[in-house]
Amino acid sequence: MSRRSNYDRAVKIRAAVLEQFGEPLVVQELELAGPRAGEVLVRLTACGVCHTDMYTASGADPSGYAPTVLGHEGAGIVEAIGEGVRSLVPGDHVVTLFSPQCRECIHCLSPRTNLCLAIREQQNKGYLPDGTTRLSRDGEPIRHFMGTSTFSEYTVMPEIALAKVDSEASLEAACLFACGLSTGLGAAMFTAQVQSGSTCVVFGAGLVGLGAVAGCRLQEAERIISVDLSDERLALARRQGATDCWRADGQVVERVLDQTGGLGADYTFEATGLVAVMREAVESARMGWGLCTIAGVAGKGETLEVVPRLLITGRRICGSSFGGVKGRDQVPELVQRYLGGEIDVAPLISHRMGLEDVNRAFELMHAQDGIRSVLALGS
């Protein structure tokens, strides 16, 4: 236990705190207690800034709370481990998992889902699995966010929520596998399980959509149509493997049908979070067996309208959370494919900045400037 002893007491960290919904985050000093049993202290080095962070910061998520330390697309190095931690040792490179993998619950034991049930309830409330927080300020507990809170120099997370990745991989690249990129890749590879030779349509060319394009390519789809409003993003989609890049113009469904003998695409993916686009994705899917995979997160209270006849004639609809990726098993595999040159991460990082600039990352996202801002954390 000696390697834990330095961390038995709280350490000072700098972190970006959501103090008030709708207000800029405030970067400040907090205390972080050492890892308890089953927990791990991670020195974070990189963190992507994702729409879910901004969505929560805006106050639009009714399950959101403040104050909290946002951030969930993190990567770093294990600094210390708590009692009973067996799968990680200090020095290991890790990607944070807002979607953990306990390997023991009924969902982890099933090949049908990646939605681990082990710590869901406490995580949703902002607590670590034992129902407490490691974060505090002047002795007052501060809740964690998505079980990760990675807009910070350090975090304490459950062992089951960390994926150990090859230390050859750049952590700046690896962090994208903590959310957006894996969500897109996995939607095609694990949720839809695109068959070789298929025709696919991906709506939206943000990080999730670009990941889905890459996933379709890795699955050896024959035709991959990327649809977006931005020519710049469409150019990135082509680089990820899109064979066709279409400006979204309200005529996409008709165009897909026209070009597929009236039948539709084998697989469609929705990566915008807009219910009107979800409907287009459903209606572009092929009669007989077309599968529409929803990866975007819709606004609260919005519903997707489906014409039942489309279902009866063979279209199917599913959703994908974190791309169906079982994080501890499959994030390392995806990172390995990145290292093998099969996934081109560099063009997806459009901005780099320090933790102090996290609000600028939100501004860039709001302006739809670039794909991903990555924060360089720590020294």
105 noted as active-site residue: yes
Q: How many residues of this chain bind a second copy (CB under 8 A)? A: 35
Does 60 contact a second copy by CB under 8 A? no
Q: Does the footprint of a second copy cover residue 99 (CB under 8 A)?
A: no
- Pick from 27, 54, 275, 339 the residue near a second copy by CB under 8 A: 275
Of 181, 176, 272, nearest to 226 by C-alpha is: 272
**Segment contacting a second copy by CB under 8 A, of 226-234, 244-252, 283-291, 353-361:** 283-291
Specify whether the CB–CB gap between 101 and 328 falls below 8 A.
yes
The binder of a second copy chosen from 160, 176, 210, 278 (CB under 8 A): 278
The question of whether 351 is a catalytic residue gets the answer no
Q: Does 312 bind a second copy (CB under 8 A)?
A: yes
Is 356 marked active-site?
no
Active site residue 245: no
Q: State the nearest-atom distance from the C-beta of 160 to a second copy, in Å.
A: 17
CB atoms near residue 124 (< 10 Å):
11
Which one of the listed residues 79, 93, 96, 108 is annotated catalytic?
108
Kindly tell me which of 95 and 277 has the beta carbon lying closer to a second copy.
277
Q: Is 51 a catalytic residue?
A: yes
Q: How far is CA 141 from CA 67, 131, 144, in A?
A: 10, 12, 9
Q: Which residue has the tokens 């890790």?
A: 94
The one-letter code for the residue type at 279 is: R
Cα 345 from Cα 106, distance rounded (Å) = 33
User: 103, 107, 120, 351: which one is catalytic?
Assistant: 120
Binding mask 217-256 for a second copy (x = CB under 8 A): ----------------------------------------
Task: Pick the catalytic residue from 43, 93, 102, 148.
Answer: 102
Nearest-approach distance from CB 125 to a second copy, in angstroms: 16
Choosing from 10, 235, 304, 376, the residue that interacts with a second copy (CB under 8 A) is 304
Task: Check binding of 315 to a second copy (CB under 8 A).
Answer: yes
Place of tokens 């800034």: 49
Q: Which of 40, 157, 26 lies closest to 90, judged by CA?
A: 40
Q: Which one of residues 314, 336, 344, 360 is an interface residue with a second copy (CB under 8 A)? A: 314
Select the residue interacting with a second copy from 60, 89, 229, 318 (CB under 8 A).
318
Q: Which is nearer to a second copy, 54 or 298 (CB)?
A: 298
Catalytic residue check, 143? no
DSSP string, 128-141: -TTS--SEEETTEE
175 in active site:
no
110 belongs to the binding site for a second copy (CB under 8 A) = yes
83 is catalytic: no
How far, in Å, CA of 289 to CA of 169, rounded? Answer: 38
Task: Give the shortest CB-244-to-a second copy separation in angstroms.
Answer: 22
Burial of 76 (0-12, 13-18, 19+ CB in 10 A): buried
Report yes or no: 200 and 221 within 8 Å, Cβ to Cβ: yes
**Helix, strand or coil for residue 297?**
coil
Known catalytic residue at 120: yes
**Least Å distance between CB 237 and a second copy?**
23
Exposure of 196 by Cβ count < 10 A (0-12 exposed, 13-18 middle, 19+ buried)? exposed
Residues 31, 33, 36: CA angle, nearest 5 degrees: 165
Which phi and psi (to 5°) does residue 237 adopt? -60, -40
CA–CA separation, 346 and 350 (whole Å): 8
- Per CB under 8 A, the list member of 248, 298, 353, 376 interacting with a second copy is 298
Provide the annotated active-site residues. 50-52, 72-73, 102, 105, 108, 116, 120, 179, 372
**Binding residues for a second copy, per CB under 8 A?**
107, 110, 112-113, 115, 275, 278, 287-289, 294-298, 302-321
